[in-house]
Chains A and B, each alone.
Chain A
Amino acid sequence: MRRRLLGVALAVLLGGAVVAALVLGNQGSGVTVVRGVIGSEKKSFFDDPEVKAAFAKHGLQVEVDTAGSREIATSVDLGAYSFAFPSSAPAAEKIKKERGATRTFAPFFSPMAVATFEPIVTALTRAGVVDGTTFDIKRYLEMTAEGTRWDALPGSAYQARKRVLLTTTDIRTSNSAAMYLALTSYVANGDDVIQGADAKVAQRVAPLFLDQGYSESTSEAPFEDYLAMGMGKTPMIMIYEAQYAAHLFAGDGAVRPEMRLLYPSPTVLSKHTLVPFDQDANEVGRLLTEDPEFAALAARHGFRTANPGVFAGLAQGTPLTRDLVDVVEPPTYDHLEQLVAMIEERYL
């Protein structure tokens, strides 16, 4: 216990020394440190040495902590940061309103997508859920409502007794699951954006989450299982397109030949939206949005940017689609939260 206290004391001292050094350092070299809290899927972007170098050219050093997008909008103490950068526009809107920010930046976005395997595509095509690279959410909801299992699909090479269900993250903690809820609730609501807690819609979409059993709390973990452990564990999974694209663009061999990417119809866009709380953060937002160097770097990490040509150039010759059709708007933050709360009750 004594060692522990000593450690804390040292950490406090050290913290003070570093702050002093940074303050003095800022004066000395003209580098401005800007701290932000971001969704974890953008961490590799901000950790990229080339991104750091690009910021340095403008006299900026951006330091980030990660948190779930829902946490950023609710529980994180934003007072310690110059900006928040959640992965959804509704969460950013809520932060903007609560913090009285004057504007937001939406430098890049990524549609929700389905990562799966060739034998699954074949079986689902035969079942009428998949057409080409389009994953039909309406047909999928009909199939899940009947409790269809993989081994009951005609001609399915995946002979598992498990239910046909997309793997998602935990709806109670994760933004990617909330995005999935946005698009399934749209279809369950008769092709209309939900306007609050609708018991009938909740009834229809709750099993999509609950029947999966245990789900992970971050979007990276189940996607890694998909890549490393294959079809047995994760036959199909709801992801951000950027997760898949980043591996394709990096050419790291993680995406193997039997893997496939499908686009749900309808889909929603995860709009990564930066909310600045001070002038330095404004500059970070402006650079990310306007400077072509940052757009090019973001595209390499799999994100789409305002100029579609950048992503399209990298995507050429890959299964990634250039044009997104059938994109719907997510519900407002409060409406989506109310629906999540209704589903959350069923976990008890």
Chain B
Amino acid sequence: MRALLALLLAAASLTACSGDEPFRILAGSEVADLEPLLKDSGIEVEFTYTGTLDGAEQVARGDAGDYDAIWFSSNRYLSLIDGAREKLSTQTKIMNSPVVLGLKPAKAAELGWDGTPVSWSDIATAASAGRFTFGMTNPASSNSGFSALVGVAAALSNAGEALDAKTIAAVTPRLKEFFSAQKLTSGSSGWLADAYTARPDVDGLVNYESVLLGMREKLTLVYPSDGVVSADYPLTLLASSSRKERYDELTSWLRTPETQRRIMTATHRRPAVPGVRLAPEFGTASLVELPFPNRRSAADELIGAYLNQVRVPARAVFVLDTSGSMEGDRIDGLRTALATLTGADTSAYGTFSRFRNREQVTLLPFSDHTKGQQDYRIPADRPEAVLGQIKSYAEGLSASGGTAIYDALRAAYEQPVDAQHYSSIVLMTDGENTDGSEYLDFQLYHQALPAERKAVRTFVVLFGDSDVEEMRQIATLTGGAVFDARDGSLAEAFKEIRGYQ
């Protein structure tokens, strides 16, 4: 008996030890707002954030073994990837949020959409007539954009069943009309909401109901009568995890009526369990859920059609540091990163990141002077030849000379812009400005730019020994964002930026 007691004591102390190990979750940034709430669960949870598509492919490849669970806004795309289903164990839905349209109240009233039922077809008609503009995330990098695209396509296709290749081809012209009104894009829902605030010319957003309800400036929400696609936030145990009990504890805590009410109040998401009364902010509209594609080919076809045919094409200017300090691994990394965008990366995430049909790409390599400008127009079909040209040019890049960042950036802002393209600049540099004009000169220059060129955002990539402070200032000044490639690869940063272009 004494031996047994000793064993049990040993077991108890070991339990305490392994209890210290946090429950590790690979998550989408959409659920980051739940982190503070989870502190009250009594369970130590450690989040690692990644993009939806990137995360999905990690799981499917079997590279998520360091995690116990995943938590994205939806598992629907993930479950279409070959080999992904077997990697998942139990899935538990935690909350719900439909993707809908939010408009400035005055605009909603002007369109007569603040009381009567409105369909996606009505919305598309008004969009093609130029009666309103909106922002939406990129369907290839963010779940809210993908859900919106599926919803709009399903509704406009007038088909009652899940989308397939034939219906997608048929609905493409209608989709083009709808998306002609898109004036703002983004790789993530959160950044989209921030960028929108600084753009008085954009009338509204297509985003999660929860994001729209959480915005400081009040919006009128339009719930399309022909249906929506919702995020259901399934907390999903990975089959490789041995911590099912901890998972069960966490999900039961998340699904108690008390926690569900707190989630609803704090994050504007609808409860997933019956019996929790909906707050009045959610309105009374009955939401029809539209069918979601159940074939990988249909989902990819839809994203491909959006990028190559439907969206307002991008005009992307890459300002690339090829000064002497880039010699060696760094210039190699830059060559690889550019090749990635020409289709060398064949994963879904990589494929969707490539330069798209109809896109205009300008490469502006620089050292103490700009080293010649390369302009490419990707045709509407058969993009391979031009992509090949970009790739071979990238492979011939070499490093030498000083670093004149602001002269080069200024050259990028001198490029013409037009309303038929969505213009943006990527600035990659591995060091401090050593030649030519200074940041303050650029600031003055930028202030004096005409409105349409001033609106072009600069996405900054930190690399090597970048001057972090000054780079942040450029991003803030131009309404762009900072991407850090100092510890990772340039290719990853470039792929992420593609969601914003």
A-B contact pairs, 25 of them (CB 8 A): A10-B14, A11-B242, A17-B11, A17-B14, A20-B7, A21-B8, A24-B4, A25-B4, A28-B1, A66-B90, A147-B160, A147-B161, A207-B161, A210-B294, A211-B160, A211-B162, A214-B76, A215-B294, A228-B272, A229-B270, A232-B286, A233-B287, A233-B288, A254-B274, A348-B295
Smallest CB gap from A25: residue in B: B4
B295 nearest in chain A by CB position: A347
CB <8 Å contact, A10 and B91: no
- B287 contacts across to A, CB distance below 8 A: 229, 232-233
Q: Are A230 and B160 in contact (CB under 8 A)?
A: no
A289 sits at the interface (CB 8 A)? no
- Residues of B that sit less than 8 Å from A by CB: 1, 3-4, 7-8, 10-11, 14-15, 17-18, 21, 66, 76, 79, 85, 90-91, 93, 96, 155, 158, 160-163, 225-227, 230, 232, 242, 270-275, 286-295, 297
Interfacial residues of chain A within 226-253, with CB under 8 A of chain B in the complex: 227-234, 252-253
B3, B14, B85, B90: the one contacting A14 at CB < 8 Å is B14
Q: A11-B242, A24-B7, A221-B91 are in contact. Are A253 and B162 (CB under 8 A)?
A: no
A212 near B18: Cβ-Cβ < 8 Å: no
Query: In the complex, are the beta carbons of A149 and B160 less than 8 A apart?
Result: yes
Nearest 6 CB-CB pairings of A with B: A213-B291, A213-B162, A163-B160, A211-B161, A227-B274, A214-B292
**Contact at B91–A21, with CB atoms within 8 Å?**
no
16 additional A-B pairs beyond A21-B4, A252-B275, beta carbons within 8 Å, are A1-B66, A10-B14, A10-B18, A17-B14, A21-B8, A21-B11, A161-B158, A211-B161, A211-B162, A214-B76, A214-B79, A214-B292, A217-B79, A217-B91, A218-B90, A348-B297
Q: In the complex, A252 Cα to B297 Cα: how many Å?
A: 43
How many A-B Cβ pairs are below 8 Å?
126
Q: Which of chain B's residues have a CB closer than 8 A to the CB of A253?
A: 274-275
- Min distance, Cβ A22 to any Cβ of chain B, angstroms: 10
Given A17-B11, A228-B271, A228-B274, A160:B91 Cβ within 8 A: no
Across the interface, do A224 and B294 meet the contact criterion of CB distance under 8 Å?
Answer: no
Whether A30 sits at the interface, judged by CB under 8 Å, is no
**Cα–Cα, bound, A161→B117 (Å):** 14
CA distance A149 to B157 in the complex (A): 14
For chain A, residues 256 to 305, give those with C-beta under 8 angstroms from any C-beta of chain B.
none
Please tell me if the beta carbons of B291 and A214 are within 8 angstroms of each other in the complex. yes
Q: In whole angstroms, how far apart are the Cα atoms of A3 and B44 in the complex?
A: 15
Task: Give the docked Cα–Cα distance between A221 and B255 (Å).
Answer: 13
A341 part of interface (Cβ distance < 8 Å): no
CB-based nearest B residue for A348: B295
When C-beta atoms are compared, the residue in chain B nearest to A247 turns out to be B274
CB distance from A110 to the nearest CB of B (A): 20
Q: How far is the CA of A214 from the CA of B151 in the complex (A)?
A: 13
A7 part of interface (Cβ distance < 8 Å): yes
B79, B230, B275, B295: which contacts A254 (Cβ < 8 A)? B275
**Cross-chain contact of A232 among B10, B15, B275, B289 (Cβ < 8 A):** B289
B91 touches A230 (CB 8 A): no
Closest CB in chain A relative to B119 CB, distance in Å: 9
Cβ-based interface call for A139 (8 A): no
For the complex, what is the distance from the CA of A348 to the CA of B79, rounded to whole Å? 13
A234 / chain B contacts, CB cutoff of 8 Å: 289
Q: A17-B7, A230-B286 are in contact. Are A212 and B291 (CB under 8 A)?
A: yes
Cβ–Cβ contact A11 & B18, under 8 A: yes
Q: Which of B4, B15, B291 contacts A162 (CB 8 A)?
A: B291
What chain B residues lie within 8 Å of A231 (beta carbons)? 286
A13 CB–B CB distance under 8 Å: yes
A133: interface (CB < 8 Å): no
Q: Would you give the shortest CB distance from A328 to chain B, in whole angstroms?
A: 27
Given A147-B160, A161-B158, A161-B226, check contact A7 B21 (CB 8 Å): yes
A231 and B155 CA atoms in complex are apart in Å by 18
- Chain A min CB distance to B293 (Å): 6
Instruction: State whether A232 touches B7 (Cβ < 8 A).
Output: no
Q: State A232–B289 Cα separation when bound (angstroms).
A: 6
Complex contacts, B160 vs chain A, CB 8 Å: 147, 149, 161-163, 211
Give the distance in Å from the alpha carbon of A54 to the alpha carbon of B80 in the complex: 44
Q: Which of B14, B162, B227, B272 contacts A224 (CB 8 A)?
A: B272
- Chain A residues in 8 Å Cβ range of B293: 213-214
**Chain A residues within 8 Å of B270, by CB:** 229
Most chain B CB neighbours (cut-off 10 Å) among A214, A228, A254: A214
Point out the residues of chain A lying under 8 angstroms from B18, CB to CB. Answer: 7, 10-11, 14
What distance in Å separates the Cβ of B452 from its nearest Cβ neighbour in chain A?
Answer: 40
